[in-house]
Amino acid sequence: MKQLTILLTLALLSGGLFAQNVTVAQLSTLSNQSLGEVEEYLRANNWFFFQGVDETDEKYGNAKFVFDRPNFGPGVTANYFITHYISENDNATATEIIFRDKVLFDAFNEQIKNLKFKIKDSKTKDGSIVKVFRGGSQIIEVSIPPNFEGTNNYKFLFARKKDYRRIRG
């Protein structure tokens, strides 16, 4: 009985790690790709496109994807979202993942550490702690919500250094 309890606990914990199917390294790679390449990769991995926004002079365009919810829309909940930002005017791209899962947050932070990203900046913004990591020419911005109670979202933004400056301008 004790072994069964341990196995169930491990299964639940690992479920949080694999509830969505992209890693920090994959998101970093996606952030440097075209919208078409990102859509093809995500579609092949059970992510579904649900909204697009055109680029304007003031804002980058973007495409939003949801994990494992092919009929996502009003009244449908989801736990994982990816937004791919694009600017033809600035020739820039970036990718952001948003989720509420603390286990996944911890796993992403461990992956950032293992990939040898170093913290370059930290501050508060809109009530959250924002950390900026750099690894070579790649930037990862991590937003940590206050008093995490499952109602706020963790955010990880991936971009090349030159694109990050344009996006956060």
Domain housing 24? 2-168
Residues 24, 97: Cα–Cα separation, whole Å:
10
pLDDT, tens digit (0-9, with 9 covering 90-100), for 90-129:
889 999 999 988 899 999 999 999 999 999 999 999 889 9
Residues 51, 28: Cα–Cα separation, whole Å:
22
How many structural domains does the chain have?
A: 1
- Greater confidence (145 vs 18) lies with 145
pTM of the prediction? Answer: 0.84
Residues 5, 21: Cα–Cα separation, whole Å:
26
